[in-house]
């Protein structure tokens, strides 16, 4: 099944939203809860599976949904269809501040591997599944475990990331980055985990114990602010039981009178 051909517009800068324009009877699929608005004439339905295999039986859909549950995602996807007479728009936004990346899957060999929670929405016909990482090092220390998400199709797909997104093209060289900063990659790229230098660098370097190493030919998308890093900073400054922030005051005192 070929993907529906949808038009789109990404709005905003730091907290982006993507508007997908649908012709009559065109459909876009999305993660549950990602929809921000939809115009009159668009109807939505929650279904098992992504709809990429319309002839798939109930057991097949249930099996596919079960695999999605392993990534921590909902077993359901929401299908938004324009059942009106003219072009209609539906908007989707990410659950935390960051950027939305529009991917023309036909430009990347019709396959993208990404973080398990980065998928936002895609044209109907896109297959959303999981990819098990066969390497133990990447599985235990890669931040995303053994499971990554795999998008397959020839249409538009949209993923979201924290902060600013940097796109790097690899032509056989190796790129090392913080494990949480990896959003996704395409092409023939090998993904593995390596130690962050010597023992002193690992313990006192502040860059984590392990780094992700990517080598091969293809495109890599990097995020400047992983949600885990943002959450750690919020928790570090959250009020404690006595109502005071952990970072409040100075080294000489709490600042209370």
Considering the chain, what is the average pLDDT of its residues? 80
* pLDDT at residue number 29: 95
Neighbours of 131 (CB within 10 A): 17
pLDDT digits (tens, 9 = 90+) for 5-18: 999 999 988 789 99
Q: Is 231 exposed, middle or buried (0-12, 13-18, 19+ CB in 10 A)?
A: exposed
Alpha carbons 226 and 179: distance in angstroms, whole number: 9
Between strands 127-132 and 147-152, the pairing is antiparallel
pLDDT bracket for residue 107 (50, 70, 90): very high
* pLDDT at residue number 88: 97
Q: Is 209 exposed, middle or buried (0-12, 13-18, 19+ CB in 10 A)?
A: middle
CA dihedral 152, 157, 162, 165 (to 10 degrees): 90
On whether the CB atoms of residues 129 and 84 are closer than 8 A, the answer is: no
pLDDT at 151 over 90: yes
* pLDDT at residue number 18: 96
On whether the CB atoms of residues 16 and 92 are closer than 8 A, the answer is: no
Collect all residues with Cβ–Cβ distance below 8 Å to 199 and sequence separation of at least 6.
none
Q: For 122-153, give the DSSP string.
A: EETT-EEEEEE---HHHHHHSSSTTEEEEEE-
* pLDDT at residue number 80: 97
* pLDDT at residue number 159: 95
pLDDT bracket for residue 1 (50, 70, 90): low
pLDDT bracket for residue 249 (50, 70, 90): very low
Q: Residue ranges of the domains in the chain? A: 7-236
pLDDT bracket for residue 65 (50, 70, 90): low
pLDDT at 248 over 60: no
pLDDT bracket for residue 255 (50, 70, 90): very low
Mean pLDDT throughout 222-251?
Answer: 70
pLDDT at 176 over 60: yes
* pLDDT at residue number 47: 85
- Only one residue has tokens 């502040």, namely 206
Alpha carbons 150 and 12: distance in angstroms, whole number: 27
pLDDT bracket for residue 257 (50, 70, 90): very low
Least confident of 8-22, 135-149, 232-246: 135-149
Write down the H helix ranges in 51-182: 58-70, 136-141
pLDDT digits (tens, 9 = 90+) for 191-225: 887 766 555 544 544 455 678 889 999 999 999 98
CATH superfamily of 7-236: Mitochondrial biogenesis AIM24 (3.60.160.10)
- pTM attached to this predicted model: 0.79
- Segment (H or E) for 38: strand 35-38
Query: How many residues belong to the chain?
Result: 257
Phi, psi of 179 (to 5 degrees): -60, -35
pLDDT bracket for residue 245 (50, 70, 90): low
* pLDDT at residue number 73: 60
Phi-psi region of 238 (alpha: psi -120 to 50; beta: other; left: phi over 0): beta
* pLDDT at residue number 102: 96
Collect all residues with Cβ–Cβ distance below 8 Å to 175 and sequence separation of at least 6.
168, 213, 214, 215, 220
What are the structure tokens assigned to 105, written together?
């899957």
On whether the CB atoms of residues 177 and 215 are closer than 8 A, the answer is: no
């Amino acid at each position: 099944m070929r993907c529906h051909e949808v038009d789109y517009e990404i709005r905003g800068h730091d907290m982006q939203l993507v508007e997908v324009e649908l012709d009559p009877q065109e459909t876009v699929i999305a993660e549950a809860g990602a929809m921000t608005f939809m115009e009159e004439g668009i109807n939505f339905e929650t279904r098992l599976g992504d709809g990429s295999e319309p002839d798939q039986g109930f057991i097949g859909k249930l099996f596919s949904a079960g695999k999605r549950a392993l990534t921590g995602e909902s077993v359901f996807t929401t299908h938004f269809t324009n059942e009106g007479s003219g072009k209609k728009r539906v908007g989707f936004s990410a659950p935390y501040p960051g950027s939305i990346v529009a991917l023309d899957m036909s430009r990347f060999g019709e396959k993208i591997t990404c973080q398990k929670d980065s998928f936002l929405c895609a044209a109907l016909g896109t297959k959303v599944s999981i990819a098990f990482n066969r390497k133990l090092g990447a599985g235990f220390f890669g931040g995303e475990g053994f499971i990554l998400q795999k998008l397959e199709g020839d249409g538009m797909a949209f993923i979201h990331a924290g902060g600013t997104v940097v796109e790097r093209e690899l032509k056989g060289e190796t790129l090392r980055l913080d494990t949480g900063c990896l959003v996704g990659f395409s092409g023939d790229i090998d993904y593995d985990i390596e130690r962050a230098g010597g023992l002193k660098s690992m313990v006192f370097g502040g860059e984590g114990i392990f780094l992700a190493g990517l080598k091969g030919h293809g495109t890599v998308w990097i995020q400047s602010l992983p949600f885990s890093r943002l959450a750690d900073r919020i928790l570090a400054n959250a009020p404690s039981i006595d109502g005071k922030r952990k970072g409040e005051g100075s080294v000489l005192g709490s600042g209370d009178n």
